[in-house]
Structure 1
Amino acid sequence: MTRLVLIDGSSYLYRAFHALPPLTNAAGEPTGALFGVVNMLRATLKEKPDYVAFVVDAPGKTFRDDLYPDYKANRPPMPDELRAQVQPMCEIVHALGIDILRVDGVEADDVIGTLAVQAADAGMQVTISTGDKDFAQLVREPGAGGGSIALVNTMSGSRTESDAAVVEKFGVPAARIVDLLALMGDAIDNVPGVDKCGPKTAAKWLGQYGSLDGVIDNADAIKGKVGDNLRAALARLPLNRELVTIRTDVPVGRAPDTLRLRDPHVDELRVLYGRYGFNQALKELEAGSLAGDGAGLAAVAEREPARARGGGFVAAAVTPVAVDPALSVPGRYEAVTTIDQLEAWIATLRRAGSFAFDTETDSLDPMRATLVGLSFAAEPGHAAYVPFGHDYPGVPAQLDRTRALELLRPMLEDPGVRKLGQHGKYDLHVMRRHGVALAGYADDTLLQSFVLEAGSARHDLDSLARRHLGYETLKYEDLCGKGAKQIPFSQCALDDATRYAAEDADITLRLHRVLAPRLAAEPSLEHVYRQIEMPLVQVLQRIEANGVKVDMDELRRQSGDLSKRMLAAQQRATELAGRTFNLDSPKQLGALLFEELKLPALVKTPKGQPSTNEDALEAIADLHELPRVILEYRGLAKLRGTYTDKLPEMVNPDTGRLHTSYHQAGAATGRLSSSDPNLQNIPIRTDDGRRIRRAFVAPPGRKLVACDYSQIELRIMAHLSQDAGLLRAFESGADIHRATAAEVFARPLEEVTGNERRAAKAINFGLMYGMGAFGLARQLGIGRGQAQDYIALYFSRYPGVRDYMERTREQARERGYVETVSGRRLYLEYINARNQAQRAGAERAAINAPMQGTAADIIKRAMVAVDAWLGELGGAGGSSPALMILQVHDELVFEAEEAFVPVLLEEVGRRMVSAAQLSVPLVVDSGVGDNWDEAH
Structure 2
Amino acid sequence: MEYRCVTDLAKLQDYLGGARLVAFDFETAPREGYRSDVKSALDAHKADIVGVSFSVSEGTAVYVPLRHKTGKNAGSPEKVMRWLAERVFANREIVKIAHNLSFEAMFLYALGIVQQPPCYDTIAAAQMTLKSNTTFRTLADSGLKTLVPELFGEKLPGFETVTAGRYFDELDPQDEETIRYACADSDYTLRLYYLFNNWFDRYLPKHRFIVEKLESPASVYVGLMKYNGLLVDEELMLKKQAEAEERIKQLKEEIAFMIGDVNIGANASTSAFKKYLYDDLKLPVFKTTAKYQEAMDDEAMILLAEWCRENRPELAALFELVQEYRKWGKIKSTYIDGYLEHIDSVTGRIHPDLFPLGTETGRFAARNPNLQNCPRKDNDPVGVRNFFIAPTGKALLSLDFSQIELRVGAFYCRDERMLETYRNNGDIHAQTTSVIYRIPFEQAADKNAEHYKERRATAKNCNFGVFYGLFPKGLQRNLKFKAGLDTPLPECERIIANLKAGYPKLAQWQEETKKRAASRRYTETWLGRRRYLPDIASADWGKKSFAERCALNTPIQGTAADILKLALGRIIEGLPWRMWLRPVLQIHDELVFELPEDKVREAGAFIKACMEERPFEEFDVPIVAEAAFGVRFGELKEIIEGVNT
Does the residue aligned with 1:669 lie in a helix, a strand or coil? coil
Contact kept, 8 Å, 1:346 with 1:408, in 2: the verdict is: no
2:623 is paired with a residue whose SS is coil
- Cα distance in 2, alignment partners of residues 831 and 654 from structure 1: 50
Task: Describe the shift of the 1:460–1:603 C-alpha distance in structure 2 as closer, same or farther (beyond 3 A).
Answer: farther
What letter matches 2:233 in structure 1? D
Task: Give the secondary-structure state (helix, strand or coil) at the position aligned to 1:697.
Answer: coil
| Structure 2: runs of 5 or more not aligned | 30-38, 309-314, 445-450, 480-485, 638-645
Instruction: Report the 3-state secondary structure (helix = DSSP H, G, I; strand = E; otherwise coil) of the residue aligned with 1:645.
Output: helix
> Which residue is equivalent to 1:926?
627
Match of 2:304 among 602, 620, 638: 620
Aligned to 1:747, which of 420, 425, 439?
439
User: Matches of 2:397 and 2:153 in 1, distance apart?
Assistant: 49
CA drift of 1:612 comes to 3.8
Letter in 1 for 2:421: A
| Counterparts of 1:487 and 1:614, CA distance in 2 | 50
C-alpha contact 2:232 2:389 (8 A) present in aligned 1: yes
Which of the residues 715, 722, 727 maps onto 2:414?
A: 722
1:457 corresponding residue in structure 2 = 138
Q: Which residue of 1 aligns with 2:32?
A: none
Equivalent residue, structure 2, for 1:339? 7
Retained in 1: the 8 A contact 2:54–2:183?
yes
Query: Which residue of structure 2 lines up, in the alignment, with residue 112 of structure 1?
Result: none
Matching residue within 122, 125, 135 for 1:448? 125
Q: Distance in 1 between matches of 2:81 and 2:460?
A: 58
Post-superposition shift, 1:894?
A: 3.0
| SS of residue paired to 1:831 | helix
State the SS of the aligned residue for 1:339: coil
Which residue number in structure 1 is paired with residue 597 of structure 2? 898
What is the CA distance between 1:558 and its match in structure 2? 1.6
Matched, 1:811 2:516: yes
Q: Tell me the distance in 1 between the aligned counterparts of 2:341 and 2:571.
A: 31
Question: Structure 1's 831 and 871: CA in aligned 2 closer, same or farther, altered over 3 A?
Answer: same
Q: 2:482 is matched with which residue?
A: none
Q: 2:389, 2:396 within 8 Å by CA — same for their partners in 1?
A: yes
How far did residue 891 of structure 1 move? Answer: 1.4
Is residue 516 of structure 1 aligned with residue 197 of structure 2?
yes
- C-alpha displacement of 1:797: 1.3
1:80-159 to 2 correspondences below 5 Å: none
> Does 2:38 match 1:356?
no
Cα distance change on mapping 1:561 and 1:479 into 2, 3 Å: farther
In 1, Cα distance between equivalents of 2:18 and 2:628? 51
Is residue 2:260 matched to residue 1:569? no
1:546 aligned partner: 228
Report the counterpart of residue 398 of structure 1 in structure 2. 71
- 1:306-325 matches, cutoff 5 A: none
Deviates more, 1:512-521 or 1:355-364: 355-364
2:284 and 2:182 map into 1 onto residues whose CA distance is 57
Residues 52-92 of structure 1: per-residue CA shift (max 9 Å, x gap): xxxxxxxxxxxxxxxxxxxxxxxxxxxxxxxxxxxxxxxxx
Q: Are the aligned partners of 1:335 and 1:384 in contact in 2 as well (CA < 8 Å)?
A: yes
Find the aligned partners of 1:653 and 1:608 in 2 and give their Cα distance: 46
Matched, 1:643 2:335: yes
Tell me what 1:659 maps to: 351
What's the Cα RMSD here? 3.5
Decide which of 370, 383, 390 is 1:691's aligned counterpart: 383
CA distance in 1, matches of 2:418, 2:567: 24
Residues 586 and 455 (structure 1), Cα distance of their counterparts in 2 relative to 1, 3 Å cut: farther
SS in 1 for 2:380: helix
Q: Could you tell me which residue of structure 2 aligns to residue 72 of structure 1?
A: none
Alignment correspondent of 1:675: 367
Task: Map Cα deviations across residues 416-460 of structure 1 (whole Å, 9 max, x no partner).
Answer: 554311111102222443677666762211222334458432333
Once residues 477 and 782 of structure 1 are traced to their aligned partners in structure 2, the CA distance between those partners, rounded to angstroms, is 61
Counterpart code for 2:22: F
Further displaced range: 361-370 or 503-512: 361-370
User: For residues 604 and 715 of structure 1, what CA distance do their matches in structure 2 show?
Assistant: 37
Structure 2 equivalent of residue 424 of structure 1 = 101
Structure with higher Rg: it is 1
Displacement after TM superposition at 1:345 (Å): 5.8
Q: State the 1:516 CA deviation.
A: 1.5
**Structure 2 letter corresponding to 1:460:** G
TM-score by length of 2: 0.80
1 CA distance for matches of 2:629 and 2:77?
46
Note if contact 2:390-2:632 (Cα within 8 Å) is conserved in structure 1: yes
The answer on 1:365 being equivalent to 2:57 is: no
Please state if 1:856 is matched with 2:555: no
One-letter code aligned to 1:912: M
CA distance in 2, matches of 1:634, 1:502: 53
Whole-angstrom CA distance in 1 between matches of 2:598 and 2:10: 49
Residue 799 (structure 1) shift = 1.0
* 1:546 to 1:632, Cα distance in 2 relative to 1, 3 A: same
Q: 1:474 to 1:604 in 2, by over 3 A?
A: farther
CA–CA distance in structure 1, aligned partners of residues 179 and 547 of structure 2:
46
CA 605–466 in structure 1, closer or farther in 2 if over 3 Å, else same: farther
| Counterpart for residue 643 of structure 2 | none
Q: Matches of residues 27-38 of structure 1 in structure 2 within 5 Å?
A: none
Contact 1:372-1:390 within 8 A present in 2 as well: yes
Instruction: Return the alpha-carbon distance in structure 2 between the equivalents of residues 690 and 637 of structure 1.
Output: 12
Question: What's the counterpart of residue 270 of structure 2?
Answer: 586
Do the aligned partners of 2:274 and 2:296 also contact (CA within 8 Å) in 1? Answer: yes
Aligned partner of 1:701 in structure 2 is 393
Residues 185-223 of structure 1 deviation map (CA, whole Å, 9 limit, x = unaligned): xxxxxxxxxxxxxxxxxxxxxxxxxxxxxxxxxxxxxxx
CA apart distance, 1:470: 5.1
Q: 1:775 deviation in Å?
A: 0.8
The two structures have a TM-score, normalised by structure 1, of: 0.57
Cα offsets for 1:108-167 (capped at 9, x unmatched):
xxxxxxxxxxxxxxxxxxxxxxxxxxxxxxxxxxxxxxxxxxxxxxxxxxxxxxxxxxxx
CA apart distance, 1:670? 1.7
Determine the structure 2 residue equivalent to 1:885: 584
Change (3 A) 1:463 1:555: same
Q: Is the 8 A contact 1:594 1:600 kept in 2?
A: yes
Q: CA deviation at 1:923?
A: 2.5
Helix, strand or coil: the match of 1:683? coil
1:507 to 188, 192, 195: 188
- CA distance in 1 between partners of 2:17 and 2:82 (Å): 12
Q: CA deviation at 1:597?
A: 3.8
Distance change in 2, residues 1:711/1:339 (3 Å): closer
What residue is the counterpart of 1:526 in the other structure? 208
Do residues 633 (structure 1) and 325 (structure 2) align? yes
Distance 1:424 1:573, change over 3 A: same
**Counterpart amino acid of 2:126?**
S
Change (3 A) 1:379 1:787: same
2:405 to 694, 713, 716: 713
Taking a change above 3 Å as real, the CA distance of residues 889 and 518 of structure 1, as seen in their structure-2 partners, is: same
Mapped partners of 2:333, 2:171: distance in 1: 36
- Say if 1:383 and 1:505, in contact at 8 Å, map to a contact too: yes
Aligned to 2:532: 827
Query: Paired residue for 2:550, among 806, 825, 845?
Result: 845
For residues 608 and 475 of structure 1, the distance between their equivalents in structure 2, rounded to whole angstroms, comes to: 46
Q: Indicate the SS of the match to 1:680.
A: helix
What is residue 935 of structure 1 aligned with on the other side?
636
Give the 3-state SS of the residue equivalent to 1:650 in structure 2.
coil
Identity in percent: 29
Matches within 5 A, 1:160-239: none
With over 3 angstroms needed to count, the CA separation of the structure-2 counterparts of 1:844 and 1:440, relative to structure 1, is closer
Give me the whole-angstrom Cα distance separating, in 1, the residues matched to 2:118 and 2:271: 53
